[in-house]
Structure 1
Amino acid sequence: MVVDEKWNKKLKDFLKRYHQDDILELANSYPDKRSLIVNYDKLEVFDRDIAHDLVEDPESVILSLEFALKDMDLPLSKKLDNAHVRVVNIPNRIPIRDLRSKHLSKFIAIEGMIRRATEVRPRITKAAFKCMRCDTVTYVEQPGNKLDEPYSGCENENCGKRGPFKLVVEQSEFIDSQKGQIQESPESLKGGSNPQSIEINFNDDLTGQISPGDRVIVNGILRSVPRALREGKSTFYDLVLDANSIERLDQEYDELDITAEEEEQILELSRDPAVYDKIVSSIAPTIYGNEHVKRALMYQLFSGVTKYFPDGTRTRGDIHVILVGDPGVAKSQLLRYIVKLSPRGVFASGKSASASGLTAAAVRDDLGDGRWTIEGGALVMADMGIAAVDEMDKMRDEDKSSLHEAMEQQTISIAKAGIIATLKSRCALLGAANPVYGRFNRYESLADQIDMPPALLSRFDLIFILLDVPESKMDNQIANHLLQTHYAGELIQHKSNISSSDISQEFINDQLINIVPEIDPDLLRKYVAYSRRNVYPIMDEDARMHLVDFYTSLRKQGEGKNTPVPVTARQLEALVRLAEASARVRLSNRVTMDDAIRTTDITMECLKNVGIDPATGMLDADIIASGISKSQRDKIEIVRDIIKMIAERSEGHKASRKEVYAEAEKSGIVADELDVYVDQMSKRGELIKPDLDHLKLVRR
């Protein structure tokens, strides 16, 4: 390539002035590292014309920059022959749906979520062809997707034949290549519109850096590719982005950059005795009350410690929480706020999410050669973050069952279309569900009112029931808070949209006092990241004994002959996770007695609402684990014995309904209760109804 000497000198001057240290660092790690990151803002400050040319004619400017980089005088003996210049912070950011023909061959930035990515494979850039007649090797550049042979024939003057040729792989030049698909971010979509996507080509050291679910800005040159038709070439072209650089938007907790100044702020905040209350008040401050729920969500953000044992087993540290309650108690708002706080949060709604949409789907790969590939769902996208699933009760039964493995083992096993794979879903699940009949009945068990399998419910560490109970003092506080929130919103919109507004910013700030979170969301996100990255607490002896005493004291209630099992070992594991999360909140590597007490308090709060049998007033783990309390199970046994006794003395082994109801009433089971038990037995296949007046047990 021929470059103007003046132009080359100018670009070398720019690189020296702004990137001297970066170039030395690149030279030290070359060829393992082959890219120099150039900030567009610096280029614009240095020379506005060059910056403008970069957007309008990116290919020549980037080639000139790379030539200048190779031409730099280095103290080392290395030559940066295959080094690349990657430009970031491009102001020319275009939404995918706004891409037009005028953007072709321009340098643009596209923001979105990586939906799909192929494997990294070598692509030939310079092919060596050997003439089969005279053994002369001819080199042909390969700019397109189709392999071009030497059209002019053999380069040997004495031969000059047009083939046959054989490709010599050993003497050809290859480059790593990968294709990806980027889709508009869900939050940027307008109502009712489908997300649009564009194909991206990644080359050399940009390959292997992306995976489905990553939110990125891809900077590159927009190209057009003709659509292939059987009859010939189409006049319609598809858009493809040749990537020049990748900027990550949301990172995992481990990838968040924390400056020294922010680290000092984080450590100072951790020493504040009121740190728990400050974090709780910073979670969804526009929602009044629900402190115990927000405390649980705080523990979920920090999570317990994931443990790996010598035998290869793994115990999850993520805390699963489900909110069940009446409509209008801000369950969805809480879910959406937590998704925003989590560096890798994904929101899905149960009614519009299928099993494959939540876990993974096998799809035909239209980026490569049409093979089947795995496309990750919401739980895979939320790996190392939080997945929020609203309206869980509205999901189909087969979709609910797909969550079991994802919640406990935190993996998703796929066996579809000849692909057997295991994907990671190391995320905490935050669910929300409504009662079957709209509102919650405090006098009926949880399992009767939520359309969810007990095996799934028992995997949640904390289950909260949110009731909408009229109470004048609380209603007054909620109303004031809600209207204050709306008033502050009105002021902000008024000032931003009406140029002649006389409302001062100080007045708006005064109205926002109770709405602005005490800890800025960005700082809180980094606080959580810092804690999860650096804090791995160990439990003190007295804290351990407190949890053991709490667990065993509850279990003792179930030692009687006819008493239910109050809690199971799953609750004990949940206690450990919560205690570790509590220590992480204040960046402590010790789980103290205070952490253990906080944990048992919040667990008891849940058990009182969820695990108490309304008939006996006793804690019963079976309400969650099997959906039927011990008292109900005992009464079902009585009903079964009554039906059996009446059927044995009746013709055709059928029991008369009237007789069954009469005998049941003697045993203290009223007609309405008996109807429920008969329905439950019928659903489980233990009982059939031959006609309206008889019941018959199914022999097993």
Structure 2
Amino acid sequence: MTEGPRGGAYGTLSEFVSVTKGVVATGQSLDETNTKAKIVTPFIRTLGWRVYDNSEVLLEYSGEEGFDDQADYALFGPDGVHAVVEAKQIGRNITNSGAQIRRYMRLFGAEWGLLTNGEQYRLYQATDEDDEQFVESVSLADLPSSAHIEDLMRQSVYTEDTAGSPSDEESPEVPSESRERIEEFVNEKRSNDQEPIQQSTFGPLYDSLIESIAPSVYGHEMEKFGLLLSLVGGIHKPRENGRSIRGAIHISLVHDSGTLTTDIAEYAAQVAPSGVHLSGGPSGKGLLTTQKSPHDSSSRRLSEYSVDTLTRASHAVVTQFGKANENELDQLRRAFTAEIPSDKAGANQGQTGLIATSKPKYGRFDQYEPIAEQIDIDPTTVSQFDLVFTVVDRPDPEEDIEAAERILETNRERERDTRRENTVESEPTQSEVEEAARTAAPIVEPEFLREYISYARETYYPTLTDEGKEPIRDYYVELRAKSADEDAPVPVTGRKLEAMVRLAEASARLRLSDTVDREDAERAIKVVRSCLQDIGIDPVEGDFTHDVVETGAGREGEDATEDGGEHDEEVVESVRDVIEIVDKEYTGEAGAPIDAIVDRARSKGISKERLLDHIEQLRRKGDVYSPSTDQYKVV
């Protein structure tokens, strides 16, 4: 036996052995994490397992019951765990670690167990007597001739009947020719990357990838870049206490109607390695699974999914996130928070990225209001997002012309495609072919982009360099220093620091790097700064307060809470006065226009949400009435 069932990191075990010998021969000291990344993970992939597909392989697996013990890898067959793999640092003696792998096999019901340090491979098998027997020890050089290694292969677990399952369709193995093409693409783009990040968007490689996300939608470069970072993700980091630092990057996009933000998120769902796509159903019906993969259009309710099932996806893209009911929000929170409760800890902790879109509470975004006051999502959920984008529909003649051209050209090309499919006509002219290539085609085709993302996620586990740490540290300290007043809200917490590390790791993965360097840190800072500038300004004090994002409340919200009911009565009376004053100013109207009331109330420190609540109170008391839509008068 020399070849894996579907190819993998390397086409054959002989090829794997040859490359791995080169890694060992360098004499480089590899810790356990790098031994896994450079040797053990490629070995498992060479056996045919798709490590990036969570329906096949889970990392740091602790079982459905959430045991304290965690196996480095759990390989899943149709009936549960087929094998567990425990990896040690290269060069470490593993002959005395047999009890550990036997315990994992017993805990998780695995038929096979493998203990390895990258150079030695010790194989164990469960017996009918509920015992785990040592089978053989194989050196790296002898792997191709082993009589038992093929028992770990995916081919022996999945029959031809299951080969066409949705899971197979969602996450196809990246072919060797695609890997070569990906490497060539990156090398070509990086060779042209001479400009500092500040003088271009993100650099030629990144700009090409960004332009290939929803190419029919003009602009939104920052949001598309954030989605790319989420798709490749950061590095999952186990801790000694059995918990972990998540690598998944969660993105929220709060958008005005008509900004095509949902189209961008849905495109991200198309190129994600695997996942579920959830969308808000009819009012009160919660979330529906509208698309599990490009090949599956069936619909299911979110309630049909267990937390374990959700966390086996690479991503969950949730459009109309605001339509999620309380039970669904709780389910999503437990699935995508950094530390999943122990009863679900086996579900690949924190490895599923959440991409959520929603509209402001009143349909359009008000840039002067904290984001948490405009969407029906509790602050606990908001605080779990690494990036929160606000997409505001602001008129801009130059931007509008470009956006209109993109939409019109895309429609024209689709019209031509439809005509060619449904009528008998001559071949398109050369000018038509060239125009089609210029207007509608992405720089990177969706399938290639999907393979690119899978390859980057699976192959690269970059580590943070000193040069990469410095900008992140300095930016973090700078943000915290902006609130020098001891009574001022703290602008950024350690949660945002970890988010910046994840984003920098994802940037390194996108360029297929083993290290997180200064350029990656600068890209992470750039996208974080963009989000904070959009939604991190306290509208009352003008301070750079990240409490708006992480707790959903700026100082205005704090004051309202502390003052209690007596303060509310004063505000209600103030709202009544505002309506009366505005009504007198607009003598030609049936009543005071709501927009003018909002502007006047804001000048008094009253948010739009509180204003509308108090207007409703006044209406119920009979102190205010509405003679016409969105107009009010005092009785």
Q: What band does the TM-score fall into relative to the shorter chain?
A: 0.5 to 0.7
- 1:339 Cα offset (Å): 1.2
SS in 2 for 1:518: coil
TM-score, structure 2 normalization? 0.59
Shift in alpha-carbon separation, 1:451–1:659, aligned structure 2, 3 A: closer
Tell me, yes or no, if structure 1 residue 302 matches structure 2 residue 227: no
- 1:402 Cα offset (Å): 2.4
- What is the identity, as a one-letter code, of the residue corresponding to 2:356? G
The CA distance in 2 between the partners of 1:497 and 1:660, in whole Å, is 62
Tell me, yes or no, if structure 1 residue 376 matches structure 2 residue 376: no
Is the contact made by 2:383 and 2:550 (CA closer than 8 Å) also made in structure 1? yes
The CA distance in 2 between the partners of 1:491 and 1:293, in whole Å, is 30
Map 1:91-240 onto structure 2 (within 5 A): none
- 1:621 Cα offset (Å): 2.2
Shift in alpha-carbon separation, 1:678–1:289, aligned structure 2, 3 A: closer
- Contiguous gaps of at least 5 residues in structure 1: 1-20, 27-115, 122-169, 171-204, 211-217, 220-242, 359-373, 415-419, 644-653, 663-667, 694-700
- 1:258 Cα offset (Å): 2.0
Is the contact made by 2:269 and 2:317 (CA closer than 8 Å) also made in structure 1? yes
Q: Which has the higher contact order (CA 8 A, sep 6+)?
A: 2
Is the contact made by 2:278 and 2:287 (CA closer than 8 Å) also made in structure 1? no
The aligned counterpart of 2:436 is 511
SS in 2 for 1:673: coil
The aligned counterpart of 1:336 is 266
Tell me, yes or no, if structure 1 residue 402 matches structure 2 residue 319: no
The aligned counterpart of 1:673 is 606
Specify which of 214, 217, 222 is matched with residue 287 of structure 1. Answer: 217
Larger C-alpha radius of gyration, 1 or 2? 1
The aligned counterpart of 1:246 is 163
The aligned counterpart of 1:618 is 543
Tell me, yes or no, if structure 1 residue 451 matches structure 2 residue 376: yes
The CA distance in 1 between the partners of 2:572 and 2:411, in whole Å, is 59
TM-score, structure 1 normalization? 0.54
Question: 1:241-287 CA distances to partner (integer Å, 9 max, x unpaired)?
Answer: xx4x633565499861321x322211112222221111111111111
Is the contact made by 1:532 and 1:584 (CA closer than 8 Å) also made in structure 2? yes
Specify which of 186, 203, 220 is matched with residue 270 of structure 1. Answer: 186
Q: RMSD of the alignment, in Å?
A: 4.2
SS in 2 for 1:268: helix
The aligned counterpart of 2:366 is 441
- 1:627 Cα offset (Å): 2.1
Specify which of 542, 558, 580 is matched with residue 633 of structure 1. Answer: 558
Map 1:479-490 onto structure 2 (within 5 A): 479-490=404-415
| Structure ranking higher in helix proportion | 2
- 1:626 Cα offset (Å): 2.6
The aligned counterpart of 1:311 is 241
Question: 1:591-620 CA distances to partner (integer Å, 9 max, x unpaired)?
Answer: 111111111111000001111111222122
Is the contact made by 2:232 and 2:456 (CA closer than 8 Å) also made in structure 1? yes
Question: 1:135-189 CA distances to partner (integer Å, 9 max, x unpaired)?
Answer: xxxxxxxxxxxxxxxxxxxxxxxxxxxxxxxxxxx9xxxxxxxxxxxxxxxxxxx
Is the contact made by 1:356 and 1:377 (CA closer than 8 Å) also made in structure 2? no
The aligned counterpart of 1:350 is 280
Question: 1:551-610 CA distances to partner (integer Å, 9 max, x unpaired)?
Answer: 111111223133221111111111000000001111111111111111111100000111
Shift in alpha-carbon separation, 1:609–1:402, aligned structure 2, 3 A: same
The CA distance in 1 between the partners of 2:329 and 2:251, in whole Å, is 16
Is the contact made by 1:346 and 1:378 (CA closer than 8 Å) also made in structure 2? no
Question: 1:107-126 CA distances to partner (integer Å, 9 max, x unpaired)?
Answer: xxxxxxxxx987799xxxxx
Shift in alpha-carbon separation, 1:249–1:638, aligned structure 2, 3 A: closer
Shift in alpha-carbon separation, 1:450–1:675, aligned structure 2, 3 A: closer
- 1:500 Cα offset (Å): 2.7
The CA distance in 1 between the partners of 2:169 and 2:311, in whole Å, is 9
Identify which range, 261-270 or 470-479, moves more after superposition. Answer: 261-270
Tell me, yes or no, if structure 1 residue 581 matches structure 2 residue 497: no
Q: Percent identity of the aligned residues?
A: 29
Is the contact made by 1:308 and 1:314 (CA closer than 8 Å) also made in structure 2? yes
- What is the identity, as a one-letter code, of the residue corresponding to 1:673? I
Specify which of 466, 469, 480 is matched with residue 555 of structure 1. Answer: 480
- Contiguous gaps of at least 5 residues in structure 2: 6-76, 83-127, 129-152, 191-203, 290-302, 578-600, 624-635
SS in 2 for 1:347: strand
Specify which of 524, 537, 542 is matched with residue 449 of structure 2. Answer: 524
Is the contact made by 1:661 and 1:671 (CA closer than 8 Å) also made in structure 2? no
The CA distance in 2 between the partners of 1:345 and 1:607, in whole Å, is 28
SS in 1 for 2:278: strand
- What is the identity, as a one-letter code, of the residue corresponding to 2:261? K
The CA distance in 1 between the partners of 2:447 and 2:570, in whole Å, is 67
- 1:483 Cα offset (Å): 0.6
The aligned counterpart of 1:214 is none
Q: How many residues align?
A: 430
- What is the identity, as a one-letter code, of the residue corresponding to 1:437? Y
Is the contact made by 1:636 and 1:677 (CA closer than 8 Å) also made in structure 2? no
- What is the identity, as a one-letter code, of the residue corresponding to 1:459? Q
Identify which range, 669-678 or 308-317, moves more after superposition. Answer: 669-678
Is the contact made by 2:279 and 2:287 (CA closer than 8 Å) also made in structure 1? no
SS in 2 for 1:323: strand
The CA distance in 2 between the partners of 1:656 and 1:515, in whole Å, is 54
- 1:639 Cα offset (Å): 5.9
The aligned counterpart of 1:177 is none
The aligned counterpart of 2:532 is 607
- 1:322 Cα offset (Å): 0.9
Shift in alpha-carbon separation, 1:492–1:550, aligned structure 2, 3 A: same
The CA distance in 2 between the partners of 1:600 and 1:25, in whole Å, is 42
